[in-house]
């Protein structure tokens, strides 16, 4: 796909506060209209492309009637479930996301959680704060098993990193299959309750869709090994929070590391805040110094492809809500 022959594409850039990096590169390729949400309708009039730098804004849905010439939307996020709406899904507008940009960073965070829980870093920190010298034994992660739920870009990078440190890693995706490059085997994610008992760590990195919403419920948690830990870097709504809270409180589950929760942010006074076997971080598993520039580079690359009529990277299957893996 490309812009109309003989003219530069018109790109509406939706931002919230700070402008996106590499804007001068975008301006070298297209006529740019900068806008915040309240001005999006005017910016969309005659625009070919929407660069949604304000990742989770619902403004496109609110001003869809103005998008009469829109051909392509790019969003600076990997998860797009909350951004898709019926008119957009049914349209011919191509939708791309930022799949892959944060995968390595998120995998590093997952490894950090695993090491923190195996080595009891929170417990040692509490001892230090109490000025208490108390010897403790810790766990090795060598040979420990992990199930990564979600076999896209993020899940595969997690698998590669965990395998590199000596863990045994399987996956769970839409369908079961063998002979995968990153996973020993891939199970069907619809059968989690039948397979989770075999794993020391269950890592959620799946997109949020109607089939994955609430996939980790009381039945799945009860089926997990009591010594196992749950890690969620996907979406908070993959897990039924009340069921997880009950499992952790009762000892059904040994611990959890949660970068995403539901609701988000976690309300003040929620029991999860004070559980010693829980690590909570504020939805930042992929946020490292320089990642914004990485997001900007991806859009510039895709805009160059668009202007030259070349295939775009990270085209989302709008009916599924994510980019199909090769």
Catalytic (active-site) positions:
235, 264, 283
Length of the chain: 326
Phi, psi angles (nearest 5°) of residue 216: -100, 100
Q: How far apart are CA 144 and CA 139, in angstroms?
A: 10
Q: How far apart are CA 279 and CA 250, in angstroms?
A: 17
Q: Could you tell me if 55 and 82 are in contact, meaning their C-beta atoms sit under 8 angstroms apart?
A: no
Straight-line distance from the first to the last Cα atom of the chain, in angstroms, rounded to the nearest whole number: 20
Q: Could you tell me if 207 and 152 are in contact, meaning their C-beta atoms sit under 8 angstroms apart?
A: yes
Q: Could you tell me if 201 and 145 are in contact, meaning their C-beta atoms sit under 8 angstroms apart?
A: yes
Coil/strand/helix, residue 239: strand
| 159: Cα separation from own chain's centroid | 15
Phi, psi angles (nearest 5°) of residue 309: 75, 25
Q: How far apart are CA 310 and CA 312, in angstroms?
A: 6
Cα–Cα nearest to 73, from 141, 159, 172, 57:
57
- Give the Å distances, CA to CA, from 35 to 19, 50, 201, 312, 316: 10, 10, 44, 24, 24
Q: Which residue in the block uniquely carries the two structure tokens 């010298």? A: 133
Radius of gyration, alpha carbons of the chain: 22
What's the CA angle centered on 231, arms 82 and 54, to 5 degrees?
30
Q: Could you tell me if 324 and 152 are in contact, meaning their C-beta atoms sit under 8 angstroms apart?
A: no
Q: Could you tell me if 147 and 172 are in contact, meaning their C-beta atoms sit under 8 angstroms apart?
A: yes
């Amino acid at each position: 796909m490309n812009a109309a022959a003989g003219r530069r594409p018109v790109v509406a850039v939706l931002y919230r506060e700070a402008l996106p990096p590499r804007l001068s590169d975008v301006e070298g390729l297209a006529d740019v209209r900068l806008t915040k949400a309240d001005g999006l309708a005017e910016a969309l009039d005659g625009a070919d492309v929407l660069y949604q730098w304000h990742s989770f804004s619902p403004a496109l849905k609110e001003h869809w009637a103005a998008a009469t010439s829109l051909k392509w939307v790019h969003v600076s996020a990997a998860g797009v479930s909350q951004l898709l709406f019926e008119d957009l899904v049914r349209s011919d507008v191509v939708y791309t996301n930022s799949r892959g940009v944060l995968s390595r960073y998120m995998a590093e965070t997952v490894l950090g959680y695993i090491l923190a829980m195996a080595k009891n870093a929170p417990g040692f920190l509490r001892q230090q704060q109490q000025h208490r010298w108390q010897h403790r034994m810790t766990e090795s992660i060598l040979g420990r098993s992990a199930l990564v739920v979600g076999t896209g870009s993020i899940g595969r990078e997690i698998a590669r990193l965990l395998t590199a440190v000596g863990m045994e890693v399987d996956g769970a995706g839409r369908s079961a299959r063998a002979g995968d490059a990153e996973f020993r085997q891939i199970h069907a994610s619809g059968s989690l309750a039948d397979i989770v008992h075999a794993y020391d760590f269950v890592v959620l990195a799946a997109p949020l869709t109607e089939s994955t919403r609430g996939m980790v419920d009381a039945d799945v948690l009860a089926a997990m090994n009591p010594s196992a830990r749950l890690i969620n870097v996907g979406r908070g709504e993959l897990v039924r929070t009340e069921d997880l809270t009950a499992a952790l409180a009762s000892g059904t589950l040994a611990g959890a590391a949660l970068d995403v929760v539901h609701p988000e942010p976690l309300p003040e006074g929620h029991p999860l805040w004070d559980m010693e076997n829980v690590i909570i971080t504020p939805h930042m598993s992929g946020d490292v110094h320089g990642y914004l520039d990485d997001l900007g580079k991806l859009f510039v690359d895709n805009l160059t492809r668009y202007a030259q009529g070349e295939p775009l990277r990270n085209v989302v299957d709008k009916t599924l809500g994510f980019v199909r893996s090769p």
